[in-house]
Amino acid sequence: MFKVVERLTISDELAAASERWLTRNGLPEDVDEDWLELVCEDGDVFRPDNIMLHLAVPPSEVSPGDCLDVGRTQTVGELWPDADAPPDAVPRQLALARTFEHRDDLWVGVCELPGPVRELFTVEHPEAMLAVMNATRRTLGRGILSIGGEPSGQLSFTVLEGDVVAWGSTEALVPHAFTYWLDAGPATALATPLRGASRVVGGLGIRPDLIIRNENDVEARCPVDETGPTPELLPEDYFEQHAQGEVVGLRIDREGGLGRDALAAIANLRPADVTFAVAGDGSLVISGGPDDGEPFTLDGAGITPLGDPRSTPIVVPYVVALAAHDGAVGGAVDLALDVHWGRLHRSDRAITVQWKR
C-alpha cells in the first residue's frame, strides 16, 4: 500500500511522459495543467532514500497522508537526478492513473488499456498454438510475421524473409476471416498468456494491436499492420503435378533426428547454402562449398532419397537446413526441389517452408 507524501501541480516531465504513453497507445491526451502529481512511498522499495513514485492523477481532493492502491496504474518513465542535484535526491519512477477514485478510505488509481474492439479467435489448446507459433517464427527469426484465421477452424502463422516463407497452423474458433502482420521480434511477447493456459482469446485493439488474453486475465499486446505482402504459396500437389524440370528430394525420418554433430556441421556453414546428398549406402552427407572443409557424413537408416538414389544433391538455404534439423527431432521431414522452387514440410508441427531457387 502506498502513502501520499506530497501533493503537487503536475510537472512538465511527468505530463510529457504521460502524453507520450497515451499517444503510443492510441489514447486521448487528456493530461493538462489541472492534473496533480502525487509523490508516494510504500515503506519498502519506494522510500525517500531509495526511489520515489511520482503519480499523475486527475484533479481530486487527495491529501498528504492518504493511502493509495496503484496496482493498476501504468509506469510511463523514470528520471534520475541531475549531476548538480542535491545529495539526497533520488530517482523518480513516473506513473499514470487515468481514473482516480476514493473507495472505503482508499484512493484507487487505474490506467488500463481499452479491451478488444473485435474478437478474432478462441483457442482451447494454447500449448499447441504456442508450439506452432514458436516453431514457425524460429524458422525465419528476422522476418515479418502474419497471423490469420479462417472460419473453417484454422489459425495460421506465416513468416516471410526475402524469398523464403514458412507457415503453420493450429485449430481455433474463428468467427471471421482475417490476416494481420506483426514484427517477428515484438511478437515474442504474445507467448506469455499462452504458457500454462487452458484457453485464450485473441482480439483486435484500437491501436490497432493484437490482444491475447487467457482465462486468468494474463494479457499480451503487439502492434499490427492491416496491410502486408501476399506471398505466393505453392499448391500442395505442385511437385506431383506442376513441377518444372527434374524433381529431387529426400525424406528424413530418424528416431531422435539428425543429432548434435549434424547440427554443428550445418552451423559451420552459416550463412552459406547447405548441400544434402544421399550416399550409395544410404548415409546422409552434409557439405558446403569447395572451401568449407570436409563433408559430414551421418550413417544409419532413416534417409530416403526421392527417386534415383544417385540423383542431384539438394542445395538449400542455411535457414532451411536448420528447419530440417529442427523438424527431424519430432517427426518426418520431406524436402523437394525443382528448377524454380524448393519446399520443406515437417510433420511434427505441420510447418511448411518454401523458397525460390
β-sheet bridge partners, residue 335: 250, 344
Cβ atoms of 184 and 191 within 8 Å: the answer is no
For residue 128, the model assigns a pLDDT of 93
β-sheet bridge partners, residue 75: 95
Whether residues 67 and 143 share a domain: the answer is: no
Q: pLDDT exceeding 90 applies to what percent of the chain?
A: 72
Whether residues 14 and 70 share a domain: the answer is: yes
Looking at the predicted structure, is the pLDDT value of residue 289 above 80? Answer: no
Cβ atoms of 335 and 344 within 8 Å: the answer is yes
What integer is the mean pLDDT of 64-75?
A: 95
Whether residues 14 and 75 share a domain: the answer is: yes
The phi and psi torsions of 348 (rounded to 5 degrees) equal -65, -40
For residue 309, the model assigns a pLDDT of 53
Is 232 a member of any domain?
Answer: no
Is 230 a member of any domain?
Answer: no
Q: Which of 94, 110, 126 is the last residue of a domain?
A: 110
**211: domain CATH number?**
3.10.150.10
Whether residues 307 and 271 share a domain: the answer is: yes
Looking at the predicted structure, is the pLDDT value of residue 88 above 70? Answer: yes
For residue 204, the model assigns a pLDDT of 94
Cβ atoms of 97 and 109 within 8 Å: the answer is yes
pLDDT, tens digit (0-9, with 9 covering 90-100), for 96-121: 999 999 998 999 999 988 888 899 99
Burial of 51 (0-12, 13-18, 19+ CB in 10 A): middle
* Number of independent structural domains in the chain: 3
d(C-alpha 189, C-alpha 204), whole Å:
16
Is 228 a member of any domain?
Answer: no
Burial of 251 (0-12, 13-18, 19+ CB in 10 A): middle
For residue 141, the model assigns a pLDDT of 67
Whether residues 83 and 174 share a domain: the answer is: no
Is 345 a member of any domain?
Answer: yes
β-sheet bridge partners, residue 214: 200
Whether residues 255 and 319 share a domain: the answer is: yes
Whether residues 198 and 279 share a domain: the answer is: no
Whether residues 157 and 95 share a domain: the answer is: no
Q: Quickly list DSSP for 40-62.
A: EE-SSSBBTTTBEEEEEE-S---
Q: Which of 110, 136, 161 is the last residue of a domain?
A: 110
Cβ atoms of 130 and 141 within 8 Å: the answer is no
Q: Which of 75, 92, 110 is the last residue of a domain?
A: 110
**273: domain CATH number?**
3.10.150
Whether residues 25 and 90 share a domain: the answer is: yes
Whether residues 210 and 147 share a domain: the answer is: yes
pLDDT, tens digit (0-9, with 9 covering 90-100), for 300-339: 889 998 866 556 789 999 999 999 999 999 999 999 999 9
Whether residues 261 and 215 share a domain: the answer is: no
The phi and psi torsions of 102 (rounded to 5 degrees) equal -100, 120
For residue 109, the model assigns a pLDDT of 96
pLDDT, tens digit (0-9, with 9 covering 90-100), for 252-264: 999 999 999 999 9
The phi and psi torsions of 151 (rounded to 5 degrees) equal -60, -15
Whether residues 101 and 129 share a domain: the answer is: no
Is 18 a member of any domain?
Answer: yes
DSSP state of 108: E
Is 233 a member of any domain?
Answer: no
Is 235 a member of any domain?
Answer: no
Cα distances (angstroms) measured from residue 166 to each of 34, 135, 343, 351: 53, 10, 10, 7
d(C-alpha 155, C-alpha 255), whole Å:
29
| Residues spanned by the domain of 273 | 242-356
Mean pLDDT of the chain: 91
Is 202 a member of any domain?
Answer: yes
